[in-house]
Amino acid sequence: MAGGPKPELEIGDWFGKAKVDAATTMLTEPFVHDFVRANMWHLKGRDADLLVDTGMGIRPLAPEIDTPPGKPLIVVATHIHLDHIGSLHEFRLRMGPKMSAAQFGSMDDAVTYAYMFHNLDGAVSKLPAPDWKAIDYRIPSAPLTRALDEGDVVDLGDRKFRVLHLPGHSPDSIGLFDEADGLFFAGDAIYDGMLIDDLPDSDRTAYCRTMQRLLDLPIRIGHGGHGPSFDRARMGEIASSYLRRRERFVSVS
């Protein structure tokens, strides 16, 4: 977050964890290639907890999530790319974008881009198991228990998140926005880093529309799928920078 302290990352056997505040923990996989090293966000709610994205699924994620027995854990996939849905199958309440809902049952390598990991140089810096090989990486089937569309609400009891459809990086990208508090889980729609818009399913025109929309979104703090958290001013800088870059590209083309 611009101007704010960076939470300290405690690195365990496979996962890293950082306590953001009393209700929020960020998890990541520090031993995987930075191209697919995504943020996962665990938020404690009154009636249910929320987990946003589930990483690569190379090692089990569920044991790392500190939710009291019997308390529902709602797990939301922001889009169907490999670094966000690898451990989705481990959880009972699985939610994700309506646009790609039918594909969560098959987790086809061509849809998730799992094939890109198979021959990625330096896929991991530490072996998760002695006989582990990147070429064997597969994402288990995880059919959604609820498909999320623009305007839907994810309710934790003490706070509600509005679903925003934010295509561009991928056609199915969604974010979760607490309109009362200003907390925004952005997935890969926007984050503080180099935004990727050249995947086979990326759409730069749609991404520009998403950036225009985000310029007007009154967030307090944003937690993205990669990189550090950001405030509204920083999100505006990221969105504006992307729009300028695309305008220059179009003018040169």
Residue 108 domain boundaries: 10-252
Q: Domain with 32 in it: what CATH number?
A: 3.60.15.10
Whole-number Å distance between alpha carbons of 21 and 18 = 9
CA separation for the pair 85, 91 (Å, rounded): 11
For residue 125, the model assigns a pLDDT of: 97
Residues of the chain with pLDDT under 50: 1, 3-4, 251-253
Counting Cα atoms < 13 Å in the Cβ hemisphere of 252 gives 6
In a domain, 1, yes or no: no
Whether 183 is covered by a domain: the verdict is yes
Which pLDDT does position 250 carry in this prediction? 56
The total number of residues shown for the chain amounts to 253
> Is 70 domain-assigned?
yes
pLDDT value for 249: 64
Helices (runs of H) and strands (runs of E) counted in the chain? 5, 13
Integer CA distances (angstroms), 209 to 41, 195, 216, in order: 26, 15, 12
pLDDT of residue 253: 42
Q: Please check whether residue 3 lies inside any domain of the structure.
A: no
- Within a domain: residue 5? no
Please check whether residue 94 is in contact with residue 88, taking contact to mean a CB–CB distance below 8 angstroms.
Answer: yes
Q: State the pairing for strand pair 221-224/93-97.
A: unpaired
Question: What are the residues facing 174 on neighbouring strands?
Answer: 165
pLDDT of residue 3: 43
3-state secondary structure of 75: strand
Is residue 49 in a domain? yes
Q: What is the pLDDT of residue 238?
A: 98
Query: What pLDDT digit, counting tens, does each position of 192-203 carry?
Result: 999 999 999 999
Is residue 156 domain-resident? yes
pLDDT at 5: 58
Domains held by the chain: number:
1
pLDDT of residue 182: 98
**Residue 248 located in a structural domain:** yes
